[in-house]
Structures are given as structure tokens and as C-alpha cells.
Amino acid sequence: MQSLQQKVILDKETTHAYQQNGYALIKNLATADEITHYRPLILDAVKKLNPEVRKMEDRDTYGKAFLQTMNLWEEDEQVKEFTLDKKFASVAAQLMGVEKVRLYHDQALFKEAGGGFTPWHQDQYYWPLNTKNTITMWMPLIDITPGMGMLTFAGGSHKDGLVKNLEISDESEKALDEHVAQKKYPVFMPSQMNAGDATFHAGLTLHKAPGNSSSIMREVMTIIYFADGTEVAPPINEWQEKDRQRWLLGLANGTLAASRLNPVL
């Protein structure tokens, strides 16, 4: 699948808007051929690796929000091409205004039919990385409408740092919803995304998604990147310590975040 390597050059307005808003919507980032090729491979990997076995009614709010299957690229050589793809990484680097990015990890986030909402949160709460220059690419593998669980952003919220020390939960939803209202951040939700469109958001951008009220799975693949040169930060919660072990292979605080799972892309 060679076409993935074609570079996308963003215009200044797009990168400037990303810096101001903390998110960007890039249409047609993956072509229809690329989606046709990679979607079944990602679906197979999710089927094989998805760790969720509980019934919907037995899960908490986080568990109801999506099936979270992580680092597919380690398990599947073809998904590896997708996750390590330079076209996606180059868009991430251009938006962040850095020359090189490293991979943090990938994850498929599949919101089941009838799946719950994703509470307001900031990703950086989970990451022991000594930088604000982190970004997630969020790409639907099928066409999606808002009611299927469209990602929604609080514009400019990334500029205010880590707002609350809260994991994804009913508590984060309540506290951060109040914060968004109080700060009057403009809230943005795309009205439609087609397979291969992608949003990018900063690790500190507040975001959420409604539940999936449709009868089909919201299939989304995500890739998380950070600026090359970032160091490992002392973990501030248990999640960050787990991440340090899992995605940074236990690298010590203050060392370069550059394990074999974090190649420069």
C-alpha cells in the first residue's frame, strides 16, 4: 500500500488555527483505497485483541464509552504500516510546529451501538511526558454522524493547562462541563465525518463525545504522537505510572522518551 506515503502539506491558516483552537479537522487524509485496504485489518486486530468481556450494564461510564484496544501495531505487521505511516505523522508534526514526532501509542476506540457518552477529559492527565506538544489523530473508518459519537472539542482550552486532576468519569464530565461553561470556550463538533477524515487534538484540549444512538459500531482508529526530544516526567498518578511502564518501557524520569516503542516517524 504505497499511497499512504504521499505527503500532505498544510497551509498556514490550518496550522495557525490548530495552535489557537487545540484541534483541527483534516478532510480526506486517508484515501478511500487506503480505508478499503486497512479497515478489515484493523477490525481483525480489534477482534483478536479487544480485552472487554463485560456486558454493557456491568461497566462503569468509562467502560461504556468505547472498546479500547491498544497498540495494534505491535501485533499486526499490516496495521503497523498504518500506525507508523509518515503522512499521518507529518500532519501531526506540522500542526504542532515541530520537525519530528515520536509515536506514543495507537488505539482503536470502537463505540458500540448503544454505547455511552465519552465524558469531558484531557488526555495529558494519563501521560508522563514532559511537554505540552502531544497530539492525537482520531480517524473514523466508516462515515459517521454526530449521534454515533462524534468527537467534540472545547476551543482554546489547551492553553489553560491541566484543569483538574481527574480521570475519565462522571466526575470529570460534571466538573469539566462547568469549567467549559464558565470559561465560555467555543465548543466544536464536526457535522459529519467520512471514513478517512481525521481530527487532531492536543493532549491538553478538553474533549468529549456523545453516546452512539445508532445501530452500528462507531469504528475509530487513533494514533498518539509527541514531539521528539520530550523527556519522561515523574508520574503524577497511577495511570501515568502504568503508561510509563507500558508505552515507555519503564524509562526513568528525566530521560529521553525514546524507547523502542516510540520510533521517530
Ligand X SMILES: O=C(O)CCC(=O)C(=O)O
- Interface residues with ligand X (CB under 6 A)? 65-66, 109, 111, 118, 123, 136, 138, 149, 151, 207, 209, 220, 222
DSSP 8-state class, residue 171: H
Cell readout for 49 is 485483541
Query: For residues 244 and 240, what is the distance between their CA atoms, to the nearest angstrom?
Result: 6
Burial of 156 from C-beta contacts in 10 A (0-12 / 13-18 / 19+) = middle
Longest Cα pair distance anywhere in the chain, in angstroms? 48
What's the closest the beta carbon of residue 255 comes to ligand X, in angstroms? 25
What's the closest the beta carbon of residue 125 comes to ligand X, in angstroms? 11
Smaller CB separation from ligand X, 65 or 103: 65
Smaller CB separation from ligand X, 152 or 230: 152
What's the closest the beta carbon of residue 203 comes to ligand X, in angstroms? 8
The answer to whether the beta carbons of residues 120 and 172 sit under 8 Å apart is yes
The answer to whether the beta carbons of residues 140 and 27 sit under 8 Å apart is no
Beta pairing partners, 129: 232
Pairing mode of beta strands 67-70, 23-26: unpaired
Smaller CB separation from ligand X, 149 or 155: 149
What's the closest the beta carbon of residue 10 comes to ligand X, in angstroms? 20
What's the closest the beta carbon of residue 2 comes to ligand X, in angstroms? 28
Smaller CB separation from ligand X, 4 or 65: 65
Cell readout for 50 is 479487544
Smaller CB separation from ligand X, 64 or 244: 64
